[in-house]
């Protein structure tokens, strides 16, 4: 049996249009410039059974011969191979159950989401385009192939266009795949949509997409998320929705009793779910802080201050309850955290969950220390530097090879919250924690603009200045002079020498 393809190596669209083809893959430049769908390079092979008589002079081709691949095949081998490479680059081992079970990666909030996307995208065009956009852009950057990056952007534009149409058709918003599409589009903007000249517009674009994802989710009732792919996409998508709301400093309705309980009617919550519950309460605290900073009326300002104190103590109770009932490690003392640190660095899932916990501590206790009278005594657990210390020690775990591309995305909340608080409490003096974070992210890569610019929102800058002022007053009332330079009990090494064994010292 012999298979004979046609001679031309051009894509099918260029062959049909009789145009010169540059044979770029997966779409040629001619088709991209003409805004036409590239037909690809798969050629129908014609199979014939050859006998000695045929070889001697019989007909070589048969028009009714079978094709190598059936028309109904949803994905080309090209797409399949690149998608497999992407999942391995995004989170190494993410497509292997044994690895996931061994590392506890399900606690990262990606295991079931990845499986849902892998099963749903075959039959959904918008989800397929969004996934190809992420895959090609990620691999293109890793291998420095510009055509992949350009094609990834083209697929992203197509996915956004299809999702806009879906949002206008209420019936399509009920599809589970649209949730996966929305999350992938948002993830693409975070990882590949950075504008070095205008980081503010990039942030706003991501915030808008995050709120769009929230609108898609809340277009259905909580009862729609009790089982199946819908449950996992909702549960594992709440983390990103919380980050979006924190960035906007705007509360969502996901903190209502219905949204906090009904989706778990058929299965229990995990420690990560309870931690996400707390994260979803943080935007309300930040919203009241913003209103307080913008208010000029003394009576209203006092009302906002008291309300924010009430909310912050309420979240403090949530944090203590989580630490007592759901925290997988002992964190009641500095020594206990020190002893757990090697395990945290080796288990990305636990590290991710604990950075959420300590990040929530920074925001909640930072708010309390801003709003309360500096002469009022506060519990030791509200001291901010200890949490900055823990967060800083865990940041390298997210740049390890096993964290993949996902690690850089996971660590963003940790970096931003830690640097923001450190700049407030170490105002005007060198900070060893900031020096360490900056050295690490400059070596291994991050959104460098985060570290180089001040926060763009004037009210956010004002809140950090207020925290700095109140911390200075606390030092004065306690009879302590402000240090000429910040101190830390962590012996931070140079980045080149950074290894998991020396980033954290026992107290």
Peptide bond into 26 cis (omega under 30): yes
Residue 8 pLDDT grade (very low, low, confident, very high; cuts 50, 70, 90)? low
pLDDT at 167 over 80: no
pLDDT at 80 over 80: no
Q: Specify whether the CB–CB gap between 435 and 395 falls below 8 A.
A: no
Helix ranges (DSSP H) in 144-227: 146-168, 176-192, 199-218
Q: What is the pLDDT of residue 399?
A: 82
Which tens digit of pLDDT belongs to each residue from 452-499? 445 567 888 889 889 989 988 888 887 754 444 444 444 333 333 333
* Per-residue tokens: 504: 């954290």
Which tens digit of pLDDT belongs to each residue from 391-408? 999 988 888 888 887 887
CA gap 330, 335 in Å, rounded = 10
- Top pLDDT among 9 and 316 is at 316
Q: Specify whether the CB–CB gap between 181 and 161 falls below 8 A.
A: no
Q: Specify whether the CB–CB gap between 134 and 188 falls below 8 A.
A: yes
CA gap 441, 423 in Å, rounded = 17
**Averaged confidence pLDDT in the chain:** 77
Q: What is the pLDDT of residue 69?
A: 36
pLDDT at 85 over 80: no
Q: Specify whether the CB–CB gap between 390 and 434 falls below 8 A.
A: no
Quick one: which of 499, 383, 358, 492 has its CA closest to 430? Answer: 492
Mean pLDDT of 212-228: 90
pLDDT at 158 over 70: yes
The length of the chain in residues reads 507
Residue keyed to tokens 């012999």: 2
CA gap 390, 358 in Å, rounded = 8
Query: For 47, phi and psi rounded to 5 degrees?
Result: -100, 135
pLDDT at 171 over 70: no
CA gap 50, 48 in Å, rounded = 6
Residue 298 half-sphere exposure, CB side, CA atoms within 13 Å?
Answer: 0
Q: What is the pLDDT of residue 195?
A: 55
Q: 9-41 falls under which CATH superfamily?
A: Zn(2)-C6 fungal-type DNA-binding domain (4.10.240.10)
Mapped onto helix, strand or coil, the DSSP state of residue 34 is: coil
User: Counting beta carbons within 10 angstroms of the beta carbon of residue 460, is it exposed (0 to 12), middle (13 to 18) or buried (19 or more)?
Assistant: middle
């Amino acid at each position: 049996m012999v298979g004979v393809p046609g001679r031309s190596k051009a894509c099918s669209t260029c062959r049909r249009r009789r145009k010169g083809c540059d044979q770029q893959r997966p779409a040629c430049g001619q088709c991209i410039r003409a805004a036409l769908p590239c037909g690809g390079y798969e050629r129908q092979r014609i199979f014939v059974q050859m006998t000695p008589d045929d070889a001697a002079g019989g007909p070589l081709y048969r028009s009714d011969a079978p094709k190598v691949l059936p028309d109904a095949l949803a994905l080309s081998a090209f797409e399949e191979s690149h998608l497999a490479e992407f999942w391995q680059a995004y989170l190494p081992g993410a497509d292997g159950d044994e690895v996931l079970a061994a590392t506890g990666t399900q606690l990262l909030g990606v295991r079931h989401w990845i499986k849902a996307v892998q099963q749903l995208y075959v039959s959904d065009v918008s989800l397929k385009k969004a996934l190809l956009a992420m895959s090609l852009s990620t691999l293109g950057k890793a291998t420095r192939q510009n055509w992949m990056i350009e094609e990834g952007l083209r697929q992203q534009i197509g996915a956004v266009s299809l999702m806009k149409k879906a949002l206008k058709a209420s019936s399509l918003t009920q599809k589970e795949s649209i949730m996966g599409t929305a999350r992938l589009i948002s993830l693409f903007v975070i990882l590949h949509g950075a504008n070095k000249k205008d980081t503010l517009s990039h942030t706003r674009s991501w915030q808008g997409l995050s709120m769009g994802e929230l609108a898609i989710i809340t277009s259905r009732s909580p009862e729609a998320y009790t089982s199946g792919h819908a449950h996992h996409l909702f549960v594992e998508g709440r983390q990103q929705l919380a980050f979006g709301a924190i960035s906007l400093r705007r509360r969502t309705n996901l903190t209502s009793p219905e949204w906090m309980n009904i989706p778990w009617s058929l299965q229990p919550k995990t420690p990560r779910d309870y931690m996400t519950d707390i994260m979803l309460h943080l935007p309300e605290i930040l919203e009241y802080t913003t209103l307080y900073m913008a208010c000029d009326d003394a009576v209203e300002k006092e009302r906002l201050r008291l309300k924010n104190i009430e909310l912050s103590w309420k979240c403090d109770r949530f944090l203590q309850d989580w630490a007592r009932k759901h925290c997988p490690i002992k964190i009641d003392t500095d020594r206990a955290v020190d002893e757990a640190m090697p395990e945290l660095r080796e288990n990305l899932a636990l590290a991710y969950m604990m950075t959420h916990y300590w990040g929530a501590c920074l925001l909640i206790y930072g708010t309390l220390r801003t709003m309360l009278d500096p002469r009022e005594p506060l519990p030791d657990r509200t001291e901010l530097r200890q949490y900055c210390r823990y967060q800083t020690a865990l940041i390298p775990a997210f740049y390890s090879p096993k964290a993949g591309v996902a690690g850089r995305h996971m660590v963003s909340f940790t970096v931003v919250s830690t640097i923001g608080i450190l700049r407030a409490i170490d105002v005007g003096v060198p900070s060893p924690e900031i020096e360490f974070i900056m050295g690490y992210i400059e070596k291994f890569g991050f959104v460098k603009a985060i570290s180089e610019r001040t926060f763009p929102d004037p009210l956010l800058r004002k809140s950090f200045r207020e925290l700095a002022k109140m911390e200075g007053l606390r030092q004065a009332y306690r009879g302590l002079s402000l240090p000429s330079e910040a101190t830390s009990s962590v012996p931070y090494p140079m980045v080149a020498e950074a290894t998991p064994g020396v980033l954290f010292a026992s107290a």
